[in-house]
Amino acid sequence: MPKLKSITADAGSRLKTISGINEKHNPSEIELKWQKRWEEAKIYSPNLDKAQKPFYNLMMFPYPSAEGMHVGNMYAFTGADVYGRFQRMQGKAVFEPIGLDGFGIHSENYAIKANKHPVEQARTSEKNFYRQLKSIGNGFDWTRTVETYKPEYYKWTQWLFIQLFKAGLAYRKKAPVNFCPSCKTVLADEQVEDGLCERCNSIAEKRDLDQWFFKITKYADRLLAGLSQIDWAEKVKTAQKQWIGKSEGVNLRFKIKDMDIHFEMFDSVPQTFMAQTFTVIAPEHKMVYELVKGTEHEKPVMEFIKTIKKKKSINKFDLEKKPEGIFTGRYLEYTPTGKSIPIWVASYAIYGYGTGVVNCSAHDERDFIFAKRYGISLHPVMFPKDPVEAKKVKNLEYCYHHAEDGILQEPVEFKGRKWEEVRGDIVHYIEKQGYGKAQAQYHLRDWLISRQRYWGPPIPMIYCQTCSWQPVQEKDLPVKLPFIEDYKPLGTGQAPLASHPEFYKTKCPKCKGDAKRETDVSDTFLDSAWYFLRYVSTDIETMAFDTERVKKWLPVNMYVGGAEHSVLHLLYSRFITMCLHDLGLISFEEPFTKFRAHGLIVKDGAKMSKSKGNIVVPDAYIKKFGADSLRCYLMFTGPFDMGGNFRDSGIEGMSRFLKRVWALVHRKKDSMNNKSGSKKSLLGSNEALVFMNKTIKKVTGDIGNLKYNTAIAGLMEYYNFLSSQKYIAIEEFRVLLKLLAPLAPHIAEELWEYIGEKFSIHQQFLPDFNESILKASYLTIAIQINGKLRGVLTVTSQFSKDKDRVEQLAKESDKIKKYLKAKEIKKIIYIEGKVINFVVT
């Protein structure tokens, strides 16, 4: 410990150099110094093979496309880092990696806009992003970064594709898919929001194209069931649940009159199956043509389908409120009622859901409207209890549906029973009668994985005339993405690589004959669906990931990221993890044990966006105020999962706070007791002891619950208390700095050194609080008259235990006497240590 020149207590205003340390807080100087020192000492690079108590602290890696990292990214990373540092200071070996999700449409679109080749753009972005990421003071392990666009990474993305193909989970099919005319590629369902491309907001068209899919639907039930096993933000779980969209019901099966064809139709409300009076089929359904072929209906029906398809192709269709339809001339032999019911083509039937054929009745809003519009007969079988209402339903005045206490009339076996309670029995009945079978339907579709773009891993498949699709042999991986000048998307349904025979001309891996490579690349979300496995294995070239390390470090202990990935990245990652589990490559099914979604940072109340030009880049703030100030400010704006509002004046306030802490430590250090210990003890007064313990409890509790805003408020209160004290004990400084360390790592480290402690504060244990000290402190008890606050009492906690004495003391206070005068006390309620309430007349 350096010798100190003694300074007087009010020396805060006089700047002096003490033993070479400038008394004024200079953030950029100390931040660079400690960042360098931390990296040299490798305090954030745990030994992945030997670490005890491993803790994998992950945050979603950024797309490094745009102008650079903005404060929104920094907010997420800082919040995640505070948690990681908190775990490290509880003795965990924290692994906190970072990388770049640099492949994909997002980055490529940016490169096109900036008129740079994506390869070149990636190089620039990487440099810029890593520089920024280093400046924010996170405890990243810089020895293990991952960039999805590097061959050593995407080699394994391709390998993963091949594993899925071999397991029968990757397949090709022609299907109506979403196509973005601006990005000139197909998109997955998850990447279309309200009919618009999530990247560029163009209207997504429907096109019939031959594409690669991953069979995520096979995992629908497990993806759903797994949600109850993991500790995730509830809103994300709900979003996934809704996206998977499981709906249970029955599949009914009936013959078409005069044809040797049976139709199956899904019904999620089987209770009213006796009400079916017509059937509708989706316009895209292949069977429609079979129904009308050679009949008088063929021409009008096919015309109708053409019109509807046109409307659907521009996705304008959902704007149409009125359902449209046309009669096919065919009937279904509906055995339950013994009637032949007409089959219509209807615009509102969805080809991709259920069987594309719907059984229709008076008890469904859309069916009801459709039937009324086209004069199709309806036959209600369920009625309200109220006879007046029941008559209205009978007269088809309105559609009666989903009524919990609706009374069934048919079938006779269930007459008089309630809709709500009869469901299970009806399903059983339908099965017994042989009308159909219980079944579930899902909203989830298979994951469309191919993209007709350049900037991604080429899909490692080869097409051979004789042997059909063959995977590239693993020894030939990676299929390198060649550098081509004409990388821009074509919009023809073909990827840019399709213009490069030197790329696609190859030999079939099986028969060695002439063959053609797949020229599409895979979706970016495949790159990011497994990166958390690669982080622990970046030094390994022979495997996608090291099984032993994965066993040691995964599943991820804490994952922090944006809720916008609820049904994208977070669902895909779970799916890929389950696939790898089933392939016997890993032992767990869920990749992220705990996930928390961070909130959004807005600027002066408005969402940050490029078009508004209000994106805040952290660099200038870090330069001016330091990363510590910006970190604390961002964390202080609100609860971490709610986000906050970025205001310049706010960060100035935080900067002031850190300066005050700095000044306090420097100013009061001469009054501290040093470790050798004078008689004044290592601790301060009793009051100080209580305050310290209270602060430890509050701050550690809040950080653990990601309530950083109140943790900082607690630290400020502690500062305010300490600065009012004449003497501050060394332990009080130690506690202050340790609690500050996760939030403001640089200044805490600097001051830690200044008070003579050993490097590094980030390898210390957080202090424990002593509950018995808290219990022994003074309490303030509120005195109420009829629930209104009329005074307070300050007593020891011992005293507070005695109701009679508290009551006596309260009654004796002058203020209370006044209120109790000439009143009859009816009741006295005493809540120990908190409140005493006199209920009077």
Residues 751-790 that bind RNA (CB under 7 A): 780, 782, 784, 786-790
Q: How far apart are the first and last CA of the chain?
A: 68
Check if the beta carbon of residue 311 is closer than 8 Å to that of residue 249: no
Among 424, 482, 513, 653, binds RNA (CB under 7 A): 653
Among 464, 508, 688, 712, binds RNA (CB under 7 A): 712
* 113, burial (CB in 10 Å: exposed 0-12, middle 13-18, buried 19+): exposed
> What's the angle, vertex CA 202, arms to CA 198 and CA 208, rounded to 5?
90
- Give the dihedral of Cα atoms 348, 349, 350, 351; nearest 10 deg: -140
**Is residue 748 a contact residue for RNA (CB under 7 A)?**
no
* Cα gap 471→490, rounded to integer Å: 26
Shorter beta-carbon distance to RNA: residue 35 or 837: 837
**Is residue 77 a contact residue for RNA (CB under 7 A)?**
no
Shorter beta-carbon distance to RNA: residue 314 or 642: 642
**Which of these segments, 133-141, 315-323, 472-480, 492-500, binds RNA (CB under 7 A)?**
315-323
Q: In what order do the strands lie in the sheet with 262-267?
A: 262-267, 247-255, 436-441
CB of 425 vs RNA, minimal distance in Å: 17
**Is residue 50 a contact residue for RNA (CB under 7 A)?**
no
Q: Is the dihedral of CA 427, 433, 439, 441 positive or negative?
A: negative
Number of H helices, E strands in the chain: 28, 37
Site string for RNA, 413-452 (x = CB under 7 A): ----------------------------x-x---------
**Which of these segments, 39-47, 505-513, 515-523, 645-653, binds RNA (CB under 7 A)?**
645-653
CB of 233 vs RNA, minimal distance in Å: 9
Task: Please give the structure tokens belonging to residue 59.
Answer: 């945050």
**Is residue 320 a contact residue for RNA (CB under 7 A)?**
yes
In terms of Cα–Cα distance, which of 443, 459, 493 is closest to 178?
Answer: 493
**Which of these segments, 51-59, 149-157, 224-232, 648-656, binds RNA (CB under 7 A)?**
648-656
Restricted to residues 332-351, the positions that interact with RNA (CB under 7 A) are: 347-350
Residue 439 three-state SS: strand
CB of 329 vs RNA, minimal distance in Å: 21
CB of 214 vs RNA, minimal distance in Å: 18
CA–CA distance from 822 to each of 150, 419, 467, 489, 826 (Å)?
86, 63, 103, 89, 13
**Is residue 803 a contact residue for RNA (CB under 7 A)?**
no
Shorter beta-carbon distance to RNA: residue 65 or 837: 837
Shorter beta-carbon distance to RNA: residue 399 or 495: 399
> Taking the CB of residue 268, how many other CB atoms lie within 10 A of it?
12
Q: Is the dihedral of CA 188, 190, 196, 197 positive or negative?
A: negative
Among 337, 340, 710, 797, binds RNA (CB under 7 A): 710
Shorter beta-carbon distance to RNA: residue 29 or 318: 318
DSSP for 715-729? Answer: HHHHHHHHHT-S---
**Is residue 22 a contact residue for RNA (CB under 7 A)?**
no
Restricted to residues 376-405, the positions that interact with RNA (CB under 7 A) are: none
Q: In what order do the strands lie in the sheet with 778-785?
A: 788-796, 778-785, 835-840, 825-831
Q: Which helix (H) or strand (E) holds 95?
A: strand 93-95
CB of 760 vs RNA, minimal distance in Å: 27
Q: What is the DSSP letter of 520?
A: -
Helix axes 627-636, 27-41, angle to 10 degrees: 90
CB of 249 vs RNA, minimal distance in Å: 6
Shorter beta-carbon distance to RNA: residue 663 or 776: 663
Residue indicated by tokens 């961070």: 598
**Is residue 587 a contact residue for RNA (CB under 7 A)?**
no
Shorter beta-carbon distance to RNA: residue 511 or 789: 789
In terms of Cα–Cα distance, which of 661, 594, 662, 604 is closest to 637?
Answer: 604
* Cα gap 205→655, rounded to integer Å: 51
CB of 775 vs RNA, minimal distance in Å: 17
* Cα gap 344→373, rounded to integer Å: 13
Shorter beta-carbon distance to RNA: residue 484 or 713: 713
> What's the angle, vertex CA 743, arms to CA 37 and CA 44, rounded to 5?
35
Restricted to residues 229-258, the positions that interact with RNA (CB under 7 A) are: 234-235, 238-239, 242-243, 245, 247, 249
Among 157, 709, 760, 764, binds RNA (CB under 7 A): 709
Restricted to residues 176-235, the positions that interact with RNA (CB under 7 A) are: 193, 234-235
**Which of these segments, 178-186, 287-295, 471-479, 560-568, binds RNA (CB under 7 A)?**
560-568
Peptide bond between residue 555 and the one before it cis (omega within 30 degrees of 0): yes
* Cα gap 18→8, rounded to integer Å: 13
Among 142, 317, 327, 799, binds RNA (CB under 7 A): 317
**Is residue 629 a contact residue for RNA (CB under 7 A)?**
no
CA–CA distance from 205 to each of 183, 200, 247 (Å)?
12, 13, 27
**Which of these segments, 291-299, 388-396, 527-535, 641-649, binds RNA (CB under 7 A)?**
641-649
CA–CA distance from 403 to each of 363, 383, 411 (Å)?
10, 9, 18
CB of 334 vs RNA, minimal distance in Å: 14
Q: Which amino acid is at 300?
A: P
Among 25, 85, 453, 659, binds RNA (CB under 7 A): 659
Among 380, 644, 684, 767, binds RNA (CB under 7 A): 644
Check if the beta carbon of residue 336 is closer than 8 Å to that of residue 277: no
Shorter beta-carbon distance to RNA: residue 160 or 747: 747
Q: In what order do the strands lie in the sheet with 447-448?
A: 185-187, 170-180, 205-214, 447-448
Restricted to residues 263-282, the positions that interact with RNA (CB under 7 A) are: 265-269, 282
Shorter beta-carbon distance to RNA: residue 244 or 533: 244
> What's the angle, vertex CA 524, arms to CA 520 and CA 528, rounded to 5?
140
Shorter beta-carbon distance to RNA: residue 15 or 620: 15
CB of 798 vs RNA, minimal distance in Å: 18
Residue indicated by tokens 């359902």: 323
**Is residue 123 a contact residue for RNA (CB under 7 A)?**
no
Among 7, 713, 809, 820, binds RNA (CB under 7 A): 713
Restricted to residues 463-522, the positions that interact with RNA (CB under 7 A) are: none
CB of 531 vs RNA, minimal distance in Å: 23
Length of the chain: 841
Among 321, 475, 726, 758, binds RNA (CB under 7 A): 321
**Which of these segments, 95-103, 391-399, 655-663, 738-746, binds RNA (CB under 7 A)?**
655-663
CB of 279 vs RNA, minimal distance in Å: 10
**Which of these segments, 38-46, 211-219, 657-665, 800-808, binds RNA (CB under 7 A)?**
657-665
Identify each DSSP E strand in 527-583 by its residue range: 558-562
Residue 46 three-state SS: coil
Among 110, 129, 657, 769, binds RNA (CB under 7 A): 657
Residue 450 three-state SS: strand
Restricted to residues 126-155, the positions that interact with RNA (CB under 7 A) are: none
Restricted to residues 349-378, the positions that interact with RNA (CB under 7 A) are: 349-350, 353-360, 364, 366-367
Among 447, 532, 636, 691, binds RNA (CB under 7 A): 636
CA–CA distance from 355 to each of 210, 236, 289, 349 (Å)?
21, 29, 16, 10
Q: In what order do the strands lie in the sheet with 505-507?
A: 468-471, 461-464, 514-517, 505-507
Among 637, 695, 700, 760, binds RNA (CB under 7 A): 637
